[in-house]
Each structure stands twice: as C-alpha cells, then as structure tokens.
Amino acid sequence: MANAILEQLTTPSLLVEEARFTANIQRLYSHLTPLGVLVRPHLKTVKSVEAARRILAGGEGPATVSTLKEAEIFAAAGISDIIYAVGIAPQKLGRVLAIRRSGCDLKVVLDSVEQAQAVAEASRQAGDPIPVLIEIDCDGHRSGVAPDSSKLLDIGRALESGGAALVGVLTHAGESYEVEGPTALVEFAERERLAAVSAANTLRQGGLPCPIVSVGSTPTAHFAQNLDGVTEVRAGVFAFFDLVMAGIGVCSIDDIALSVLTRVIGHQHERGWIITDAGWMALSRDRGTAGQLIDQGYGLVCDERGCVIPDLIVTGVNQEHGVIAVRPGSDGALPDLPVGTLLRILPNHACATAAQFDRYAVIPLEGSDLKTWQRFGGW
C-alpha cells in the first residue's frame, strides 16, 4: 500500500487488510465444515454490518452477539437467527421480545432458576415462548452450570413448565486463552465438547429437549478434532486475530488483519522513546500478552506497509500519546523514524482496540482505493 493511499487517512485510524481478513474466514470454515457442524460467528468483535456480511454463511447468519444493540442492528439488517450469548437480566426481556417481534429468532442464555422463571413469566405475558440455551461451565472461567449439576434439570423444567422454550446448551472455553500450543488447544477443545455433550445428554435423559449443542472460542474452534454430539461452533476474533491469539499459537503474526495507523509526533532521544499519536484511546489498555512467553507491551510496531519492525513495541500509553521503544532485554537499536512517519500497531486484543473506533479503513483485495466499513458501539 503506497504511502499516498494511507495519507488519505487521519491518524489514528483503524486498518483492515482485506486479504488477510478473507483468508482467516476461509480457514475457519474449511476446518469446521468437514466436522459436520454449523458455524455461528460471534459478531462482538467486528460490530459492523459490512464486515458481518463477509463473515456469516451466505451473509445472513446464524450469528452470535454480546449486546442487545448488536442484536437490534444485525436483526434490522436481515440477520434472523441470533444468540445473545450473555446471561440475561430480566430487565432486558422487553428488548428481547421487541427484537423477536421484528422477525428475528433471538435466543437468550441463562444459568439460574431465577433467570428461567423471569424468562418464562415474560414469555407467558407476551404469548411468545422465548428460546433459551442453558450456559454450561466447562472450565471455571466465568458463568454457567456444571454439566453434572442438579441445577441443570431444575432450570430446564422451570423453562418448559413456565412458558419459555428450552432449545439447548451453550458453553465457552474461555480458559483456552491461557494455554499454548496445538496439544493443549486440542485437549481444551475436547474438554469443551465433552462438557456440552454431557449436559445435553443429562437434559434429554431427564425428558427435556436439547436440539442445540453450542460450543466455541476462537482457540478451540481452530483446534477441535472431534465434534460428535455438537451442532454448532461459535468464534469471534478469528476474522482479525491479534497478538494474544498469535502468542498461544492459534495464528501467526502475518495472519493479523487489524492494525492501528499512527504517526510519529516526537522523540525523547535520551530515553530511547519515539512518541506517536495513538495512545490508549486508540490502542486500548489491554495487556493480554503480559503473561505470555513474549510480552508485546501495548502493541507490536510495523512500518506503513505492515511489516514488523524487529524488537519495537509500544511500551507505554497515555490518552492520546503512545510511547514506542526497543523491547526490554533486546539488544536491538531504535530506528530513525522522523516526525510524520506512518506506522501500524498490531493489537493485543482486537475486540478492545476495534472498540475505540467508529469505522474500519479497509485495504482492499484488489485496486488502490481504500474502502470504509462503518462500525458501532454501545449496549
């Protein structure tokens, strides 16, 4: 990409390499489709109708979201099969029902009898059996019911007898982000599968329906070898990837499709610092690589073409200032980067970095003109 093309942009700007983005999507579908499952991409990372069209099968779904605003916008765009994959608060059920009335089959997730009773009551009052998946805890990461818990049947019965519709189970192997390498990731994918399938069998043996068995995280989605008993897989950051995913071996640095375009605005030569106009308002404060074998600071520095500059990372951030320096412990030299030099920063966590912007500047597969994909935020 010639300097003249990027000069069109203000800095900081959020860049997407469309070729990498497309290849990343194709990689996931090529891995999962032969395993006989539906792919239900999570749209929480992209938060863009234009980007979602490229990620979803046929451009229309099914899809996963993490906010009701996402559900509202994607439903309005014609995506009609959505799971809201965050535990439901009873106060949000009015919005859920409104989205369903718009023609979208929006499903909710919960892990308690209290939530089940609230959903059942809202379903009865609306005359609309809200479809529900019970969240299963496969790794102690966050929410969910243990696959062998007696609560599982209690929740299912509260839904079915109360007027809601139990449609399945859902689990997310969030702790897979903490392991590294193919062997560990394959093992985690199987752990995730077993938890979901076991919970589904418990419900069925208790006389309850469980047509959907939904699993997924970006690491396990890429390393699952056996998905027997699973009906669908969810993944979100796979289209962009980031430094955390590279650090655990899910992708390479060269697969990362997202970066922040920034300019050099100053130097502190005696400190070995280069100052840029991309601070935490552009990069986020995410330090997801801090516990990994290679700590990438607040982001890995590339030249304007997207080529990594060896041993150069963002070591500090203020609101609108980024500090670039040689990686601690390295014997590398600080390059000569004059004021005005364009750089790209690869993010630790694509979701957090993308959340700082309202659009993507897309470097196209062909041609020389930048494209723009609008992006939204909020809840």
**202 is in which domain, residue-wise?**
36-240
Residue 76: count other Cβ atoms within 10 Å of its Cβ. 13
Q: Are residues 295 and 175 in the same domain?
A: no
Q: Are residues 236 and 261 in the same domain?
A: no
Instruction: Please report the pLDDT score of residue 1 as a whole number.
Output: 43
The CATH number of whichever domain residue 305 belongs to comes to 2.40.37.20
Q: Is residue 284 part of a domain?
A: yes
Instruction: Please report the pLDDT score of residue 3 as a whole number.
Output: 65
Q: Give the residue from 208, 240, 272 where a domain finishes.
A: 240
Q: Are residues 273 and 230 in the same domain?
A: no
Q: What is the pLDDT of residues 171-226, one digit of tens each?
A: 999 889 999 999 999 999 999 999 999 999 999 999 999 999 999 999 999 999 99
Q: Is residue 301 part of a domain?
A: yes
Any alpha helices (H) in 234-338, and if so which ranges? 243-248, 280-283
Omega of the bond leading into 34 within 30 degrees of 0 (cis)? no
Tokens 């499952």 identify what position? 37
Q: Are residues 78 and 219 in the same domain?
A: yes
The CATH number of whichever domain residue 209 belongs to comes to 3.20.20.10
Q: Are residues 181 and 143 in the same domain?
A: yes
DSSP per-residue letters across 150-182: THHHHHHHHHHHHT-EEEEEEE--GGGGG--SH
Q: Is 198 helix (H, G, I), strand (E, B) or coil?
A: helix
Instruction: Please report the pLDDT score of residue 36 as a whole number.
Output: 97
Q: Is residue 30 part of a domain?
A: no
Q: Is residue 113 part of a domain?
A: yes
Question: Which residues of the chain carry a pLDDT beneath 70?
Answer: 1-3
Q: Are residues 100 and 145 in the same domain?
A: yes
Domain count of the fold of the chain: 2
Q: Is residue 213 part of a domain?
A: yes
Q: Is residue 111 part of a domain?
A: yes
Q: Are residues 141 and 229 in the same domain?
A: yes
Instruction: Please report the pLDDT score of residue 5 as a whole number.
Output: 81
Q: Are residues 178 and 67 in the same domain?
A: yes
The whole-model pTM stands at 0.95
